[in-house]
Amino acid sequence: MPYDLAKETGNWKGCGNSDNYGEILQKLGVPPDMVPKILEIEYSVEMTVSGDQFTYKITEFGQTSVNTFTLGVESEEQDAWGTKRMVTYSMEGDSLVNTYPSVDGKGLHFRSCRRFLDDNTIHTI
């Protein structure tokens, strides 16, 4: 079943992570002193969708970032710390995929997929 982007509309809470998430964060260039904080944080996500365009408003550590994307179009993303990077979102089967050609600004390619486990849970890998 294809990924239903409109189903993400609304407010979500981000939390929980895998055992190797800290290692992933380090490879992505997150400062070592921030890794434990990120592993413990719950953050809020507000998503709006209009056709193939969607906007994420993410609040974490008291900072808010707002980014708008169009499926299949490379766009600039800025995180809550002001770091900018290019990303392309696309649909692949039952997943929404985001691909960063240089997530760390040094050429590190990064890709993640998210899919619904049920009506209230999105799993990101």
Judge whether residue 99 has pLDDT over 90: yes
Task: Report the domain count for the chain.
Answer: 1
- Residue 16 pLDDT > 70: no
CATH number at residue 39: 2.40.128.20
Nearest to 9 by CA among 98, 124, 89, 122: 122
Buried-state track 27-56, b at ≥16 Cβ within 10 A, e below 16: eeebeeeebeebeeeeeebebeeeeeebeb
Say if residue 27's pLDDT is above 70: yes
- For 116, counting Cβ atoms within 10 Å of its Cβ (0-12 exposed, 13-18 middle, 19+ buried), the class is middle
C-alpha 110/C-alpha 74 separation (Å) is 14
Q: What is the pTM of this model?
A: 0.82
Q: Which of 34-43, 61-70, 74-83, 87-96 has the lowest mean pLDDT?
A: 34-43
Supply the range of the domain harboring residue 10: 5-124
Q: Look over the chain and give the mean of its residue pLDDT values, rounded to a whole number.
A: 86
Contact 122, 8 (CB under 8 A): yes
Residue 69 CA to residue 52 CA, distance in Å, equals 8
